[in-house]
Amino acid sequence: MDKGSQPIIIIDPRKEQTKGKEALSMNIAAAKAVASIVKSTLGPRGMDKMLVNPLGDITITNDGATILHDMSIEHPAAKMVVEVAKSLESSAGDGTTSAVVFTGTLLEKAENLIDNGVHPTVIVKGYRLAAEQAIEILEDLAVSVGEGEKEMLVKVAKTSITGKASEKYNTLIAKLCVDAVLAIQERGKADLKRVILTKDIGRTIDETEFVEGIVIDKVALEKEFPLKVHNPNIALIDVSMEVAKTANKAKLQIKTAGEIENFVKQEDAALFEMADYVIRAGANAVFCSKGMDDKIAAYLQNRGIYATRRVKSEDMQHLADATGGRSIRNIKELTDKELGHAGLLEQVRDGDQGKTYLRDCKGAKSVSIVIRGETEHVVDNVERAIDDALRVVKCVVEDGKVVAGGGASEIEVALELRSYASSIGGREQMAIKAFADALDEIPRTIARNAGLDAIDSIVNLRAKHAENKNAGLNIQTGTAEDMFEKGVVDPLRVKVDSIKAGSEAAQMVLRIDDILRAQSSSMPDVKPEHMASTYDGMSAPQLNMRR
Ligand SMILES: Nc1ncnc2c1ncn2[C@@H]1O[C@H](COP(=O)(O)OP(=O)(O)OP(=O)(O)O)[C@@H](O)[C@H]1O
Ligand SMILES: [Mg+2]
């Protein structure tokens, strides 16, 4: 986001210090404000947000991390809540909205307790105990997923996509993501850098495709070149394959036709010399990241060597990784040692356009997903959904643990925390109960966003939990149902990290009783008219998108 545009939320610039309850109330209000922005997007029936950047580009999404990342949030406590979303995004790749809603609710409940005379440090301790206990409860609740349980992985992927991409293609996308992660995982670890996403706008989502190998948005320069090359030896050239242009001011003194011919011959000789290095190295496919003279392309292709130019640098990197080849900056250094290898090079072309597929690559295992859709917005949205799905599948492949979704795990943890609270006694138990109430806010919000009665839904869920710990919300009917049977499943990591990050952020905010301005000149672009006053002499935290 453009840092030069007008920020809106900030602390009152006229004050050097904000203390005690005032400081806390202000921070809590800011955190709540962040949570309220994303709240309406939670769950399969959550709404979307339209983000408009200063250039007028729009993003339509309900992905919590994307929304908060693209907004300009200046309030320090609000930023701490945004950090919660970021932390979930990087650790689990999903659950960002839930974590932010949870954090906001924890602080809201804390505020009520403070109003009733409970000291913040007591709440901090209660929240810490509750978080530790909640994680233990979650771990006991989790169900193991074995290596071959692909169906469960598809359920997890599908749950994370629900509400994000087109409903019609959820299963297709979920399956592609599971195939991709399973293909690249090695000894229980999945490095998602090995899954390459390519976009192809103008086709339909159902044509989105999973490829074991690499897909490059290029075709051979010569139209007539054969569509397939078996066992290609691949040269990766990271330097221009053209003759250097004569500098502007230098004049060529050519007087006779013979001299012109001579000059052209010299140029051609230089070009063919480059091509000969490629031929001598034994390559039968050349990917050049820079320009390539048509004469070289023709020369190579006449000898059965696939050649293409201006390949994007990230694609060059993928090619190098996947085929085991090395990019060359000096063509004279090219030998067979630098070549990459694959089982099959195949072009799918439409005139001069098209794609080149490299299958059965011999380097590091790499797979691609070609994301297709009618418009750029559709493709971007599917890409975000795929991104979430890949990451949740990775979590489950690595950890082997899942919990029931649809609010099931939150309700169960909340119920067990309430009985744990009674065993603790003292004022901390009030905080532990507040923590349990904050967890209930997840199913409550999913229900509300689906147009259901939140109170009825929670009552149904609690009643059902006496017999089934995996009962979650059926958003069509509002009844409580077994979520494993319904296929609504979340990775354990998402839930554990959400509790860790959310409760830590809440505790951090609660420990602050003083806001000091470190340097009075540190906020030069804030003017008093940007303030709205709620507390005495203090600005209400406002959140606005920069536009
Ligand atoms: N079909 C469904 N029925 C009921 N609940 C569902 C269903 N699909 C998903 N959920 C629940 O919705 C919640 C996830 O919602 P959502 O994906 O909007 O937010 P998030 O995962 O917290 O954040 P984000 O995806 O924005 O990072 C999870 O609790 C999940 O179990
Ligand atoms: Mg999600």
Ligand showing the shortest atom-to-Cα distance for residue 40: 1
Amino acid found at 80:
M
Q: Average model confidence (pLDDT) for the chain?
A: 86
Could you tell me if 262 and 377 lie in one domain?
no
In a domain, 224, yes or no: no
Q: Which residues contact 181 (CB under 8 A, 6 or more apart)?
A: 153, 190, 192, 195, 390, 393, 394, 397
Mean pLDDT confidence for 468-487: 95
539 in a domain, yes or no? no
70-118: pLDDT as tens digits? 777 777 788 888 889 899 989 988 999 999 999 999 999 999 999 999 9
46 and 99, same domain (yes or no): yes
Please check whether residue 440 lies inside any domain of the structure.
yes
Q: Average pLDDT for residues 331-350, to the nearest whole number?
A: 93
Task: Please tell me the distance from the alpha carbon of residue 217 to that of residue 476, in angstroms, as a whole number.
Answer: 42
> pTM for this one?
0.83
pLDDT in tens, 246-277: 555 555 566 676 666 776 677 778 888 889 99
- pLDDT at residue 266, as a whole number: 76
347 found inside a domain: no
Query: pLDDT confidence of 245, banded at 50, 70, 90?
Result: low
Q: Annotated catalytic residue: which of 41, 61, 96, 162?
A: 96
Least reliable range by pLDDT among 10-24, 209-223, 386-400, 488-502: 10-24
Higher pLDDT, 416 or 546: 416
Same structural domain for residues 314 and 418?
A: no
Amino acid type, 261: E
Q: State the pLDDT at residue 536.
A: 34
Where residue 13 falls among pLDDT bands split at 50, 70, 90? low
Rounded to the nearest angstrom, the gap between the alpha carbon of residue 448 and the centroid of all alpha carbons in its chain is: 26
Alpha-carbon distance values, 487 to 464, 472, 476 (Å): 18, 11, 14
Residue 334 lies in a domain: yes
**Which range has highest mean pLDDT (78-92, 220-234, 400-414)?**
400-414
Residue from 370, 377, 387 nearest 216 by CA: 370
Cα(519)–Cα(323) distance, rounded to whole angstroms? Answer: 54
Pick from 29, 108, 3: nearest CA to 515: 29
Q: Check residue 526 and give its pLDDT.
A: 40
Catalytic position from the list 293, 315, 380, 388: 388
Contact 321, 340 (CB under 8 A): no
Query: Same domain for 253 and 299?
Result: yes
CATH no. for residue 205? 3.30.260.10
Pair 168, 252 in one domain: no
pLDDT at 530 over 50: no
The three state secondary structure string of 313-365 is HHHHHHHHHHHCCCEECCHHHCCHHHCEECCEEEEEEECCEEEEEEECCCCCC
3-state secondary structure of 237: strand
76: left (phi over 0), alpha (psi -120 to 50) or beta: alpha
Task: From the CA of 160, give the closest atom in ligand 1.
Answer: 17
Expressed in angstroms and rounded, the spacing between residue 118 Cα and the centre of ligand 2 is: 34
Q: In what order do the strands lie in the sheet with 213-216?
A: 213-216, 353-359, 344-350, 228-230
Q: Is residue 431 part of a domain?
A: yes
Domain that holds residue 479: 20-144+404-511
Same domain for 104 and 130, yes or no, is yes
Instruction: Tell me how far apart the alpha carbons of residues 503 and 162 are, in angstroms, rounded to a whole number.
Output: 26
Please state which of the ranges 318-322, 426-430, 462-466, 525-529 shows the lowest mean pLDDT. 525-529
Instruction: Give residue 210 CA to ligand 2 midpoint distance, Å.
Output: 22
Same domain, 136 and 159: no
Nearest-CA neighbor of 431 among 161, 107, 175, 198? 107
Query: What average pLDDT does range 509-524 have in this prediction?
Result: 64
Percent of the chain with pLDDT over 70: 86
Q: Which of 59, 97, 208, 323 is catalytic?
A: 97
We report the CATH number of the domain holding residue 275 as: 3.50.7.10
pLDDT at 151 over 80: yes
| Cα gap 449→62, rounded to integer Å | 12
Q: Whose alpha carbon is nearest atom 20 of ligand 1?
A: 95
- The domain that holds 445 is classified in CATH as 1.10.560.10
What ligand has the least distance to the C-alpha of 162?
1
Question: Exposed, middle or buried, 422 (CB in 10 Å: 0-12/13-18/19+)?
Answer: exposed
Task: Tell me the mean pLDDT in the region 501-522.
Answer: 77
CA atoms within 13 A on the CB side of 372: 13
Statement: residue 188 has pLDDT above 70: yes
Say if 91 falls within a structural domain. yes
**Residue-level pLDDT at 512:** 81
Stretch 196-221: mean pLDDT: 91
Expressed in angstroms and rounded, the spacing between residue 154 Cα and the centre of ligand 1 is 15
Ligand 1 atom at minimal distance to the Cα of residue 406: 5
- pLDDT band for position 4 (cuts 50, 70, 90): very low
Atom 14 of ligand 1 has which residue's CA nearest to it? 43
CA 276 distance to own-chain centroid: 44
Residues 466 and 423 in one domain: yes
pLDDT at 307: 95
Residue 154 has pLDDT above 50, yes or no: yes
At 523, which amino acid appears?
A: M
Torsion from C-alpha of 474, 480, 481, 482, nearest 10 degrees: 120
pLDDT tens across 42-59, in order?
A: 988 877 777 777 777 777
63 is catalytic: yes
Taking alpha carbons only, the member of 525, 521, 523 closest to residue 5 is 525
Q: Both 57 and 133 in a single domain?
A: yes
Closest CA to 99 of 112, 88, 109, 107: 88
284 pLDDT band, cuts 50/70/90, is very high
Looking at the structure, tell me whether residues 378 and 415 fall in a common domain.
no
How many domains is the chain partitioned into structurally? 3
Catalytic status, residue 96: yes
The answer to whether 542 and 9 are in contact (CB under 8 A) is yes
Q: Which protein residues touch ligand 1 with a CB less than 6 Å away?
A: 41-44, 46, 62-65, 94-98, 159, 162-163, 388, 405-406, 442, 446, 472-473, 475, 488, 490
> Max CA-CA distance within the chain?
104
Give the pLDDT of residue 127: 97
pLDDT of residue 539: 39
Residue 495 Cα to ligand 1 midpoint, Å, equals 11
Atom 9, ligand 1: which residue's CA is nearest? 159
In the reported structure, the alpha carbon of residue 43 is separated from the centroid of ligand 1 by a whole-number distance in angstroms of 4
Atom nearest to 96 CA in ligand 1: 27
> To test the ligand 1 pocket, which listed residue (70, 488, 497) has its Cβ within 8 A of the most ligand atoms?
488
Residue 408 and residue 504 in one domain: yes
| 12 domain-assigned | no
Statement to judge: residues 261 and 325 lie in one domain: yes
- The minimum-distance atom of ligand 1 relative to the CA of 85 is 27
Give percent of the chain above pLDDT 90.
59
Beta carbons of 444 and 43 less than 8 angstroms apart:
no
Confidence bin at 398 (pLDDT 50/70/90): very high
Q: List the one residue out of 77, 111, 3, 74 whose CA is nearest residue 505.
A: 77
- Under a CB-based contact definition with an 8 Å cutoff, are residues 154 and 441 in contact? no
The residue whose CB lies within 8 Å of the most ligand 1 atoms, and thus the one to mutate among 61, 67, 102, 159, is 159
